[in-house]
């Protein structure tokens, strides 16, 4: 009898998709916030960071209120014959929401630490704002963006509470690795729970190690230091 690896594939698909969404949304929000001051942006900061401080089950409950059949987004989706709750897209939404603050904070911190004289010099030379961002800001902020990507992926991979509230635990559909661990423990199958836990840790370590190799050992100067 073969081993059911669907939680692994579901977790990977969910984490990769959620990370891509948070990368786009988090970077856009951080760029917008970096150039604005005042009470309004500060209040938005609080909203952006709420999933980081609220318990995941509370985040999941809020998402359920929004995307449920009687919620504002849920009713709109039903108008078009669609539904999100207890489906794979729900796992992506839950993972993206809880991992968004990590991406946002990392990208914002990277942008705020940029040397403003370099940006101003590029503008003085006639570069447009888009060109300044693409050719100066983005390369300089890349380490922070990459760090946010790693953190967001790891957070999405380990998401449990919000996913369980919004997507449930449907085998082969919404049962990710953390949910599989929970179900195994509830059933008293501790060896199975341990196997899933080891799998989760292995994926996270592989992700971190791969990013480290790509960002450090591929750099000729760093590689030379490593070889020495």
Segment 175-224, tens digit of pLDDT: 999 999 999 999 999 999 999 999 988 988 888 777 767 666 555 444 44
pLDDT given at position 227: 44
The pLDDT of residue 42: 81
> What percentage of the chain's residues is helix, strand, coil (to nearest 5)?
80, 0, 20
Q: How far apart are CA 188 and CA 193, in angstroms?
A: 9
The reply to whether 22 falls in a domain is yes
DSSP 173: T
List the CATH number of the domain containing 50: 1.10.3720.10
> If you average pLDDT over residues 145-164, what whole number do you get?
90
> Is the residue at 159 inside a domain?
yes
DSSP calls for 128-166: -HHHHIIIIIHHHHHHHHHHHHHHHHHHHHT--HHHHHH
- Give Cα separations from 15 to 12, 18, 21, 33, 173 (angstroms): 5, 5, 10, 25, 14
User: Does a structural domain hold residue 1?
Assistant: no
| Residue 211 in domain | yes
**Domain carrying residue 153:** 6-227
In a domain, 53, yes or no: yes
In a domain, 83, yes or no: yes
Name the domain count of the chain. 1
Please report whether residue 16 resides in a domain: yes
pLDDT digits (tens, 9 = 90+) for 18-46: 999 999 999 889 888 877 777 877 888 88
pLDDT for the residue 3? 64
pLDDT tens-digit series, residues 97-143: 999 999 999 998 888 888 778 777 877 877 777 777 777 878 888 88
pTM of the predicted structure, to 2 decimals? 0.85
Closest CA to 112 of 166, 173, 41: 41
> Between these two residues, 72 and 134, which has the higher pLDDT value?
72
**Inter-CA distances, 78 with 85, 160, 165, Å:** 11, 26, 19
Within a domain: residue 68? yes
């Amino acid at each position: 009898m073969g081993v059911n690896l669907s939680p692994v594939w579901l977790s990977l698909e969910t984490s990769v998709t959620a990370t891509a969404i948070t990368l786009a949304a988090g970077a856009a929000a951080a760029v917008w916030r970096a150039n604005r001051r005042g009470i309004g942006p500060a209040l938005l900061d609080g909203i952006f960071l709420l999933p980081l401080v609220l318990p995941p089950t509370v985040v999941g409950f809020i998402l359920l209120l929004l995307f449920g059949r009687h919620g504002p987004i849920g009713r709109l989706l039903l108008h078009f014959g669609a539904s999100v709750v207890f489906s794979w897209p729900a796992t992506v939404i839950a993972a993206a929401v809880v991992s968004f603050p990590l991406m946002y904070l990392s990208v914002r911190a990277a942008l705020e630490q940029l040397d403003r004289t370099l940006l101003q010099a590029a503008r003085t030379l006639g570069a447009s704002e888009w060109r300044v961002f693409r050719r100066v800001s983005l390369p300089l902020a890349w380490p922070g963006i990459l760090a946010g990507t790693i953190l967001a992926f790891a957070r999405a991979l380990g998401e449990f509470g919000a996913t369980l509230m919004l997507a449930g635990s449907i085998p082969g559909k919404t049962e990710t690795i953390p949910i599989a661990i929970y179900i195994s423990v509830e059933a008293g199958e501790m060896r199975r729970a341990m196997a899933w836990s080891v799998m989760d840790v292995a994926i996270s370590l592989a992700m971190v190690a791969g990013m480290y190799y790509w960002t450090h050992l591929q750099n000729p100067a760093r590689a030379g230091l490593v070889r020495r």
